[in-house]
């Protein structure tokens, strides 16, 4: 009965949290972390403001230049005495003119199309920034999860060691246990305390990272899910090996920039189209009847000394578009490589994790159980039992390290695939 009780204690998972955490703290799931990050993180609000700024620009895309009012003294003679004469020679007057340039409609439409395309660029950047922040949140969440799981194991094994050590000391009085091994067991207790301090540091680091991402006070306490399940991406393995059509939001942002550059080039090309203008003038004459004039204006942008400017700019933008297309192709190539690497790494790491669960840990459990039974029956030594306890503890912690690696690679795979 005593041996079964110890084994039960060994396998029992006891709850433990970060230092300072109370039992009634709020539990926050990973999806709730994502939602809070999306609502409060300054970098995402930055892109929201940028999108609003583009909206404001679009609203004024078809605005005209303001009219111009001109007040002038026209045809005044240097002989100011003539101003009093009512003769045809006295052509002096005060001229009031109003001038309005009328932009070419094609130019306004091209400008508006260009500004509208900028919104897609900002929106793609916004979505990609979400992916970056979610990736960081996953890493912090998993770091804290693994640290707390290891703390559970350490607490469990400390209680088990205390029971074994108490039994060994009782047997020592009957010369059934050796003193050096008892000292070694006591040293192991100190090592567990050091490991616990290190793990508490890691758990608090994850807590601080999550609070920072959620824009909370770094000392805010909360609990996380105590059971996280690995996702099975092996079904999409073959599709991932042929992901030539993959488009993530960072790649879509480049695509949107290419589209914006094309719209910008169309806008610049409309510089070859003329603009129009009209000017209405009224002359308040001193020596003759009042006069008015109406003038129409048109720009001539196709003249050689003017057309060089927009033609060279259109040509330059064409080369910029080609460069951006090559950048997009390079990014797609690198993404396909990273996705292939991550899915292969994930599959093999999960095989190793399955090896711990199906082979390694059961064997070490049987080794400990056998050593425990032999020690109870006085046919085994405390040294062998302590060694079995230590090896089982190390393999339990190694298994948690492997689980953490699998979670990390899974997060990297989801980052590359932009699975939020």
Question: Which residues are CB-contacts of 254 (< 8 A; sequence separation ≥ 6)?
Answer: 324, 327, 328, 331
The pLDDT value given to residue 37: 96
Highest mean pLDDT among 56-65, 197-206, 236-245: 197-206
Please report which residue ranges of 356-381 form alpha helices under DSSP H: 361-376
- The predicted pLDDT at position 18 comes to 41
Q: How far apart are CA 414 and CA 34, in angstroms?
A: 14
SS3 319: helix
Report the alpha-carbon distance of residue 188 to residue 181 in Å, rounded. Answer: 10
Bridge partners of residue 200, in order along the sequence:
none
Which of the four pLDDT bands, split at 50, 70 and 90, describes residue 303?
Answer: confident
Using the predicted structure, report yes or no on whether residue 22 has a pLDDT greater than 70.
no
pTM beyond 0.85, yes or no = no
Mapped to the 3 state alphabet, what secondary structure does 112-140 carry? HHHHHHHHHHHHHHHHHHHHHHHHHHHHH
- CA 190 – CA 161 distance, rounded (Å): 11
pLDDT of 331 over the 80 cut: yes
pLDDT on residue 181:
76
For residue 71, the cross-strand partners are 96
pLDDT above 60 for 263: yes
Average pLDDT of every residue of the chain: 86
Which pair of tokens denotes residue 404?
């953490």
Helix (H, G, I), strand (E, B) or coil at 94: strand
Contact 299, 377 (CB under 8 A): no
- Cα-Cα-Cα-Cα torsion 354, 359, 365, 366, nearest 10 degrees, comes to 160
Q: What CA–CA distances, in Å, run from 356 to 118, 132, 295, 390, 402? A: 52, 32, 90, 16, 9
Residue 241: pLDDT band (50, 70, 90) is low
Partners of 281 in the β-ladder: 97, 293
pLDDT in tens, 136-167: 999 999 999 999 999 999 999 999 988 888 88
How far is the first Cα of the chain from the last one, in angstroms, to the nearest whole number?
49
Measured CA to CA, the distance from residue 20 to residue 123 in angstroms comes to: 40
pLDDT above 70 for 174: no
Q: What is the pLDDT of residue 237?
A: 59
The Cα–Cα gap between 262 and 373 comes to: 79
Quote the radius of gyration of the chain (alpha carbons, Å): 39
Report the pLDDT averaged over residues 210-233.
Answer: 92
Cα dist. 190→184, 186, 382 in Å?
10, 7, 18
pLDDT of residue 3: 40
Structure tokens at 63: 């605005």
- With pLDDT > 90 as the criterion, what percentage of the chain qualifies? 59
Angle at which helices 179-213 and 382-417 cross, to 10°: 20
Within 10 angstroms of residue 126's Cβ, the number of other Cβ atoms is 20
The predicted model gives 55-68 an average pLDDT of 89
Please say if the pLDDT value at position 194 is more than 50. yes
8 Å CB contact between 270 and 108 = no
- Comparing 401 with 284, the larger pLDDT belongs to 401
Q: What are phi and psi of 69, to 5 degrees?
A: -105, 135
Q: Which residue has better confidence, 358 or 18? A: 358
| Spatial distance between the Cα atoms of 32 and 23, rounded to a whole number of angstroms | 19
- Name which residue leads in pLDDT, 45 or 305: 45
Residue entry with tokens 């059934």: 176
- Per DSSP bridges, beta strands 276-285 and 291-298 are antiparallel
- Quick one: CA dihedral 329, 333, 334, 336, positive or negative? positive
Pair type for strands 276-285 and 27-28: unpaired
What's residue 20's pLDDT?
A: 41
Confidence of residue 299 (pLDDT cuts 50, 70, 90): confident
Residue 314 and residue 239: Cα distance in Å, rounded? Answer: 40
Classify residue 184 as exposed, middle or buried by CB count within 10 Å of its CB (0-12, 13-18, 19+).
Answer: middle
> Does 16 score more than 70 pLDDT?
no
**Phi and psi of 247, rounded to 5°?**
-135, 110
Q: Are the C-beta atoms of 252 and 332 separated by less than 8 Å?
A: no
């Amino acid at each position: 009965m005593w041996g079964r009780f110890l084994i039960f204690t060994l396998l029992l998972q006891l709850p433990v949290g970060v230092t300072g955490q109370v039992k009634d703290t709020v539990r926050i799931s990973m999806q709730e972390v994502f939602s809070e990050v999306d609502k409060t993180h300054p970098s995402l609000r930055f892109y929201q403001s940028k999108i609003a700024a583009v909206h404001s620009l679009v609203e004024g895309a078809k605005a005209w230049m303001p009219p111009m009012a001109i007040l002038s003294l026209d045809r005044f003679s240097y002989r100011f005495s003539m101003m009093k004469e009512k003769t045809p020679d006295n052509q002096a007057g005060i001229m009031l003119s109003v001038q309005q340039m009328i932009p070419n409609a094609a130019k306004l439409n091209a400008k508006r199309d260009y500004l509208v395309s900028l919104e897609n660029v900002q929106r793609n950047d916004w979505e990609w920034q979400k992916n970056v922040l979610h990736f960081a949140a996953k890493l912090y969440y998993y770091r804290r999860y693994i640290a707390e799981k290891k703390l559970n194991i350490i607490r469990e094994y400390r209680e088990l060691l205390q029971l074994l050590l108490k039994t060994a000391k009782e047997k020592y009085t009957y010369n059934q246990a050796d003193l050096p091994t008892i000292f070694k067991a006591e040293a192991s207790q100190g090592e567990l305390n050091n490991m616990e301090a290190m793990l508490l540091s890691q758990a608090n680091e994850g807590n601080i990272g999550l609070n920072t991402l959620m824009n909370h006070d770094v000392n805010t306490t909360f609990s996380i899910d105590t059971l996280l399940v690995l996702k099975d991406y092996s079904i999409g393995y073959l599709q991932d090996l042929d992901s030539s059509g993959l488009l993530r939001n960072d790649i879509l942002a480049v695509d949107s920039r290419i589209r914006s550059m094309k719209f910008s080039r169309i806008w610049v090309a409309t510089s070859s189209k003329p603009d129009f203008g009209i000017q209405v003038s009224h002359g308040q004459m001193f020596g003759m009847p009042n006069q008015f004039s109406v003038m129409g204006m048109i720009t001539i942008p196709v003249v050689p000394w003017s057309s060089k400017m927009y033609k060279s700019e259109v040509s330059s933008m064409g080369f910029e578009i080609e460069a951006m297309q090559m950048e997009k192709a390079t990014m797609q190539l690198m993404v396909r490589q990273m996705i292939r690497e991550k899915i292969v790494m994930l599959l093999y790491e999960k095989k190793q994790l399955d090896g711990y669960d199906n082979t390694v840990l059961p064997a070490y459990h049987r080794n400990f159980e056998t050593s425990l039974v032999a020690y109870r029956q006085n046919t085994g030594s405390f040294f062998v039992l302590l060694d079995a306890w230590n090896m089982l503890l190390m393999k339990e912690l190694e298994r948690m390290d492997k689980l953490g690696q699998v979670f990390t690679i899974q997060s990297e795979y989801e980052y590359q695939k932009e699975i939020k």
